[in-house]
Structure 1
Amino acid sequence: MSWQEVLVPLEKLRISPYNVRQRIDEGAVKSLMDNIAKRGLINPLIAYPAPDGAYEIVCGRLRFLAIRRLKMEMPEKFNELFSRGIPVRAREMSPREAALLSLSENVRQNTMTKAEIGAAVTRLREEFGMELDEIMSEVQLKADEIRRALEVYRAVLGTMETLQIPVARPGRPKTGEARRAISTTGMGRIHSTARRLAEKGYGREREIVEKLKKVSMDSGLSTREIQLLTKKVEKRPEVLKSEEELRKLVAELRAEEMVERVVLLRRDVISKLEWLAKSRKKTFDELLNELLGRAIDEELKRLGVVVIGA
């Protein structure tokens, strides 16, 4: 779909969840508001249409906040400039495209900290399965720039954990309300599955993402369970036509009686398991269960132990 120039009411605009900019300086918002009041909006916002008729902003978060503040503090000037709507360049785009475009624009304008860039790069890798070389090419960042950004981001995460500030981590057990949150690894699996199914003609990527996200959150699925669910959905994509069928698939998954445990593994063991899983086109958990099951069966056989019901 080609770009379209549209005028959108302010109340129909919102920040896209794929907008990577996190830090906003209120002083900068005020300064830009004053500039817009004097000169108007020079560059339109970049957004995509949402299913509910709104537009989600990929590039232009600061401009959006400045315009919103202008409406509150200078309503007459706002009406003079934007009585017909806010100028927006819009087109359909996938979540991956939106995240890449947002990062590229903010890197070009030098508006992000290294920690923010590191967080965005980590998200592209975990949610969308992108390799570093691919990100460097798409965003026009050098290898040492990405390396330094990731180092700063990891340092920030470490500080947050030291101060006991909650940080979402994939693979850890969740309890109560927090269990319904989806880790970045889980979202990455959902997005990659949705992209592959959309390419095969089973629906729009964004709609598939929303369906899988909703059933995962409603069912309180762990990261491992999401990985198993998406694999089953790729084998049986027809379940996407009905929410009931999708929930039945979740029930089937849970009937397999998989139990989640937190274990500590040596770094070299994890590296070997990841390599084997990738080479055999299996998930980390599938390969680990396969190898452990085989090794345990062999050890029990050697000991002459028979497990009833096994």
Structure 2
Amino acid sequence: MTSTPKKSRGLGRGLSALMSDVATDVAPQSTPKRPDLVVPIEQIQPNPDQPRRSFAQGPLDDLAASIAEKGIIQPLIVRRSPGGGAGYEIVAGERRWRAAQMAKLHQIPVLVRDYDDTEVLEIAIIENIQRDDLNPVDEAAGYKQLMERFGHTQDKLSQALGKSRSHIANLMRLLTLPEEIQSYLISGQLTAGHARALIGHDQALQLAREIIQRKLSVRETEKLAKKGPAIKKRSVPGAPVPKDADTVQIENELSASLGMKVTIDHPAGQDGGKMVIGYKSLDQLDDLLRAFGRLVV
């Protein structure tokens, strides 16, 4: 007998239920929840699929100092270890777990939830999206993951997460920018407003570097994107130099007179150069030689 597959959760009620835990984790100043357990810290492991890989050291130090003084106010959300061991895996609250280790705590309050792998990943992404200090690229990547991995639409995400649809759409467009520009967004050298003005621009990278160098505002960036970069591209060694109008006209007149393609290469500042005449057949070559009065028999 085949087992019945688990019914997929719809976004609305399903995500709303997940959001109840996430909201508590993201806003620790809210009314503390009573923990289900107090667990030895060594029995807790981070989620290996946690999408957030970097934790700023400064805020982490501040959190560790606060925990050392007041303890952990909001319990972490965990599930029992998927491998069937005695420990627990973090669903939400990895920053507090890291800070608790720095503060040398031996035990941590937790809320135990029975979430599957899909729900754990979904919560981790939502938790990161709701962070105030999240950079726009990581936030956009979170929306993209929720849409691609879980089939959520921008409209449904907008309703469930309390974000406008235009906010979600505009942030996701940032992911079309070159990786170097995205790195400027992650580091804070550019804002999302700066970057939006560069989307689809054929000189976006050059403009981004100029914006940073000149410390332009978003309004100034929008104007710059319309007229193009003020910092000109350096000439590439060996790149062809545009021909002057007189040389082009001589080429055209000779080509019309001979009925063959004539190319003149006359480097600027030099007396000499070369002229190339292309012929398509031996008959054309004979005609050319006659024209020069040097017929070869």
Structure 1 or 2, whichever has the larger Rg, is 2
Question: Which has a greater percent of helix?
Answer: 1
- For normalisation by structure 2, the TM-score amounts to 0.44
- For normalisation by structure 1, the TM-score amounts to 0.42
